[in-house]
Amino acid sequence: MKSARQNVILDIIASENIETQHQLMAELGKRGISTTQATLSRDIKELRLVKELADGRYRYTVPERAGVAEHNQRLAKIFRESVVSCDTAMNLIVLKTLPGLAMAASSAMDGMNIPDLVGTVAGDDTVFMAMRDVKSAVQFCGEIRKLF
């Protein structure tokens, strides 16, 4: 139910200029979806919707790909400047960083939507990344190595 509702929300904001939660709730109602303001507010937060100024009015949108590209550029910069090595141990990726920079590298990884990443743990100069399986760990470690 939740994912179906959130998919409808994404469809609505892609096709309509929605300025308020009230308008969004009304559009959901037109599509047969009843929800509370609190639930809608949580959906907006989970979907990471933002209000963007367009034609002098604010409207809900999904963050632009340019923002994703900028985020990826910052991640690449963090890796170039802080990650020293990357290796795998079964489904774990072990990143070695310069002293004091493991938390930044870990936070950057957590901020991305990496499908097979289960979680990260950071120390001072080491990050453990738990991947869903060995294959995804090896593949992603290869991608990480290309960044530095």
Q: Specify the 3-state DSSP secondary structure of 84.
A: strand
Q: Which domains does the chain show, CATH number per domain?
A: 2-61 (1.10.10.10), 66-147 (3.30.1360.40)
**Does residue 65 register a pLDDT over 50?**
no
CA distance 19 to 41: 14
Element holding 14 (H helix, E strand)? helix 2-15
pLDDT, one tens digit per residue, over 95-106 is: 999 999 998 888
Residue with tokens 């639930």: 39
Q: Specify the 3-state DSSP secondary structure of 25.
A: helix
- Nearest residue to 95 (alpha-carbon basis) of 130, 134, 136, 135: 130
Q: Is the pTM of this model over 0.85?
A: no
CA distance 91 to 113: 18
Question: In the predicted model, what is the mean pLDDT of residues 61-78?
Answer: 64
